Structure 1
Amino acid sequence: MKRMKIGKKLVNFLIGMVALVFIWQVIIWVGGYPEALLPSPLSVGKAIIVLIVEGTLFEHMQVSLGRFLAGYFLAVIPAILLGMILGRLPRIWQVIDPIVQVLRPVSPVAWSPFIVLWFGIGNMPAIVIIFISAFFPVLLTTVAGVNKIERSYLKIAENLEIKKVKLMVKFIFPAAFPSIVSGMRLAVGTGWIFLVAGEMVGAQSGLGFLIVDARNTLNLDYVLAGIIFIGVSGFLLDRFISLFERWIGKQWGMMARA
């Protein structure tokens, strides 16, 4: 049964990719775009092969993943802990929530002038931008998850004199986990998107730099190759979070999402 589901998903994925490439080629035919304006799938495929054979892709991918994971976990771990605490302190959250709602819509890239001044160039600007983009989704969904827990259950736990730390770990975190993991998936998407923007701010390596460097030399086939790598990598990261969610669900006896 599982093999059939995996097979169907793989077939659907391949059909979608083939359809995308076909639409891409049709746009070139209908619009009459030259290679200099919109490279064909064949040209981009050749660029992908060159990047793989030369090892350039894996070098930039390794750097980008390192930056992303650093910024992501630096954001997610404190956001979960803080969200679980603030979810239990509604009066304090009522004061903090307006501050969060004012800061959350601001694009992390808007902070880039200050980030470069404070942290210099290199890895840190990208890591800080990823941190900002990933922190708020996890914080808000964690607080929301804690607030959704039935108060009667919490009162029973208090009557049983369960210690606060044990209550957080054994009861509140598992109960709020579906909301938390939704925030983690949102954070993967936003963090990975702004990774590219972060690497365009003073970085000399990574997928974002690869795109900027190819654009500056007018190699648009390499630009599209970089875009494809970014999209595929983001898809795989999202799948990893989904597998993590299912694994946790099995450990706690919760129904995993299909």
Structure 2
Amino acid sequence: MILDIYKDSFEFASRKISNLLLLGVLSFFNILIIPMIFFYGYNYRVVKLSTQSMINGGDVPPEFNDFKKMFIDGLKYIIVYFVYLIIPVILIMASIISGSVNWILLLIGIILLIICTLVVYIAIPHMAANDDSLKSAFAFSELFEIISSIGYGRYILNYIGVNLISIILLIVVVLVISFIFMILGIATFSISTSGVGAVSMLGTIILNFILFFLVMPYLAMFQSRCAGLIYSLGS
């Protein structure tokens, strides 16, 4: 079942290339607040669609429209993550900010961060499935009931798998592009030493472009789809 979710999510993210490219534009300018809000607003839309979907049901990514609602949804998405993660992040920062590490505080912060990331992973779909109600994202008894219905082992395994797949794909892309430009750099060095710096700079630009314009939006859509589908198993 978990493998089916991954398969469906990989296929889903590539079913409408035009939408993936539009999401890539938002990802590329994600350092700016407005594009970032729309970026998460669209991924929230993917989550919402997926909570109502069947695995391997042939869904296509939602349209880029109703931008006012997309903006509001993006804000809600960010607010929920902020509320869930702010306390563990503060604890982790406080444990190292004094110059000497407070290992007890750091451990508490890390454990709390793991728990919060696991809960927010189901909180976003639950909000999407309940008329976009912020209150639903913090209905802890309902959230844990849904996780229990899915199965704690299956739920945690799905979450770990989603993140491992994302990390591995990122590493592979970086290694492949770095290897290509390393070969080009060696070839250029044999012709002209002054060209090596230009090749290195070009490689960095292309790597960042591919990561932010293609890989990151693809993985974001993949992760959002996985979150919605795993939620649908327990709802």
Give the TM-score normalised by the residue count of structure 1: 0.28
Relative contact order: is structure 1 or structure 2 higher (C-alpha 8 Å, sep ≥ 6)?
Answer: 2
